[in-house]
Structure formats: C-alpha cells, structure tokens
Amino acid sequence: MNKFLMLGTSLGSIEIVETARNMGYYTIVTDNLDPDHSPAKKVADEYWMISTNDLDLLEKKCREEKVNAVFAGISEYNLDRVKALTERLGLPCYIEDTAWKYARDKSAFKKKCREFGIPVAEEYTVSTTPKPDELAAIEYPVVVKPIDGAGNKGLSICNNEKELIAGCRKAKENSESGNILIERYILGEESWHYYFLADDVIRHVYSGCVFRQPGYPTFLYVLGTFANTEYHEFKEQFDEKCTALLENLGCKKGIAWFQFIKDRKGKYYALEMAQRMSADCAGKALKKATGINNIKWMLELAFGKKHTAETIPKPVGPPYKCVPCVYYQFSDRAGEIASLQGYNDLDPERFQISFVAHEGDSIQKYKLLARIVFNAYSSEEICESIRYINAKTSILDLNNNNIYIPFTDFDLLKKHAEAQMVAESVEVYDNG
C-alpha cells in the first residue's frame, strides 16, 4: 500500500488529500492542531497529532508506518520540512534545491533576474540602525518585507521615515534569517505566469491576474482569474528570458511560476518566483480549463513518477472558453468569529471551499479567512458567481456583522475579462 503523508493544513489541503485518495493512495495528515482547525484530517484515512516541526518523531513514525511520499501545500515553512524529511527518509522530493533557494531568497532572485535582463524594482540598503544618509537616499513609497517571507507576512508599505523604521522591525520579526528587503513600491496590475517542466522541456502553459476591492491595500488579492490581458505581452517580452532563467537554475520537473507587476507606464517588473503549488491550489477547476490537474501532477512527482515532455499540457491563452476563478475572503477588521453562514448552501460540485479561520478564532485585520474556487464560461458568469457567493455567505463577528471584504468592482472585472473570453453559457443564480 502506498502511503502519503501531508504536512499541515493550508489552502487547498482538502482537495490535495482527496486527489491523493482518488489516485489510490492511503492518506495521512499530521500537525499539532485539533481536526476542527485542521480540516484535511477529517477527509484523510488517518491523522497524526505530531507537529510538523518535530522531524525526529516524524522520521521515526514514517519508518514505522512505511510512508512512501511526503507533501505539503503552499506553506513554505512546511515545504522546508518536506525537503528535510524526504532527505532523511531517502524518498523522492518534488522541490529542487536551486529553485528553492531563489524562491526563498528574494534578493538572490532579483540578482538572477538582472543576469537575464528581467527588470526588477530598485532596492535600498540600510544598516541595522539606519544611518541618516541611508534614510535620505530613499524615495517613498517603499515596500519592506522579509527576504525569506511568503504570503505577505511581515510586509509593510511605507510612506515616510517613521513608517520605514517600524516596517523594518516588523519584517525582521517575521524573517527566519533576520534579513529584510527594501524596494521601490510599484503600483500596477499583477500577474502570475506558470511553467510546466519535464524531460528537459520548460513550457509556459497559462497566466493569471488578480483584482482588488477598491479602498483596501494593494496586497489584498481578493479575486484571481485566467482572464488576463497580459498573456500575449508577457509571452513576447519575457517567456524566453524566464525559460532561460529556469534552465540556468537547473529546474527540470514540476511547476514553476513567476509573479510580475506592470506599472502605470506599462513597464513590467518581476516580483518573485517559486517552484511549488500556488495559493489557488485549483486542481479540479484548472483541469476544466487546461486538461491537467496541477495537484495530481505534483503528487505524482512526490511518489517518484518521471513525467515526459508529451504529458506537458499545451499553452492555454485567450480567448478562453472556460476560466478558473479564486475568490479570497479577507477580514476587514480585527475581531472574533462567531459563526460561518451559508457555505453549506453552495453547490460543492461548483464551488470548492477552503477555510483558514474557524468559529471562535480571534483574527487580525486583513487576515485571510476563506477561499472559494469555481469555473466560469463568460465574464458575466464570473460576476454572477461572485454576487451569488456574496448574497449567500457571511462570516459573522460577535456583533452579528459580516467581517469579510466582499468583492463588488464588477465594472472593472467585466471590462478586463470580457475581451479575453468566448461567451458560451451563463448560469444566473437566484440571489434571494
């Protein structure tokens, strides 16, 4: 029996475990959380109450239980543990060392981008105790973040010296290495570009973009979709350079992605790269659009399967017949969650739901609470699906008020997405 161990709970964990079970694997989930706060445990064949930080105990247990593969979702902390644990056990690892180095070290990634002619934001350097001349050289606004951070943890946008000093402190507190990055803050449209790798072939397959709710910070990506105006521009300007960069790093398997931002003058800048699952973890939804389940692709690598070039999907660009969409629900204020309402009313075949927060949790402002993945066949259907979710669901605080930020900028969404899609069908939901 092939046994699959999932480290921790993150976005898409339930779909990852269900995909592994459908592939015929016996599934185990481990962390030190109660199953009510680690929901993938409830769908797995078995769960352990072992912290993902306890590598000695995990190694012992894996040997006793004859575990064949170790996996994690998008948590870089747990992905570090996957690398360490598979090395101890002599198991295949789907994370390649060189790519992981540049994904974890944003400064090293930016240096590599410059090598290949890929633009990156201007950086600033300050001492542990910033010197007056260092501070005087900074042009605001700037973004400050841990050099090894992920998911906007420890990130600050600073408009003056006082905010910068506070931002540096926050970034250091959220960095394992204690190193931070200060760079020019670029406002614009962000996009992600995904590559599949096998058999010395690296192919750009699809791109995605994000939308924000007006009035909220730019790092809150409330909605993600394929309906992306940058696809052809990116292919023309950066596909060859990004492919060459991945080749230079020795990347040969899995999925790699790049995050870019286009400023208001139309210039692109690379923000980061990774060779792992992305935050959407939209396996079923992605398969409807591309013909391939990205979760299944990565799980096969975890069990040691070698993909061939023939199995890499063909590029998928506009006009799209079908797009996967990811609706992220963030808190608009701090508080305590009293209840989650309406999510059981959403059709599970149409909407894949992941919860990061639960009833009784005390939460901070702008914390990710839930994520809903769905497919749409027109720009109007994207809008109608979100309206339906907004009408049906709520995450209530102790005052019985909805605490998540609803996306409502439908005019911008339709303007952006309409030209990218071929309308085939629209299902209008009853919002009553």
Q: What's the confidence (pLDDT) of residue 150?
A: 62
**Which H helix or E strand runs over 98?**
helix 97-104
C-alpha 289/C-alpha 272 separation (Å) is: 25
Element (H, E) at 180: strand 180-184
What are the tens digits of pLDDT across the range 279-315?
A: 776 888 999 988 889 999 999 999 999 999 999 999 9
Q: Which two tokens stand for residue 212?
A: 């924000």
Q: How many CB atoms lie within 10 A of CB 308?
A: 9
What single-letter DSSP state applies at residue 95?
A: S
**Integer CA distances (angstroms), 147 to 61, 69, 125, 154, 272, in order:** 33, 30, 12, 10, 11
- Residue 173 near residue 144, CB atoms below 8 Å: no
What confidence tens digit (pLDDT) does each residue in 132-184 have?
A: 888 888 889 998 988 776 656 788 889 998 898 888 889 888 887 778 889 88
Q: Which tokens sit at 329?
A: 């629900």
For the chain, list residues with pLDDT below 50: 425-432
pLDDT given for residue 145 in this prediction? 86
Q: Which domains does the chain have, with CATH numbers?
A: 3-93 (3.40.50.20), 122-184 (3.30.1490.20), 188-418 (3.30.470.20)
How confident is the model at residue 303, as a pLDDT? 94
Task: Compute the Cα dihedral for 69, 7, 358, 152 and give only its sign.
Answer: negative
Question: What span, in angstroms and rounded, lies between the C-alpha atoms of 63 and 216?
Answer: 48
How far from the centroid of its chain's Cα atoms is residue 205's Cα? Answer: 17
**Is-contact 246 256, C-beta < 8 A?**
yes
Q: Which residues, in sequence order, are bridge partners of residue 188?
A: 263
In angstroms, the CA 40 to CA 27 distance is: 10
Give the separation between CA 389 and CA 222, rounded to whole angstroms: 13
Q: 287: closest CA among 205, 209, 217?
A: 205
Contact 130, 137 (CB under 8 A): no
- Give CA–CA dist 342/336, Å, rounded: 18
Beta carbons within 10 angstroms of residue 76's beta carbon: 20
Rounded CA separation 348/352 (Å): 6
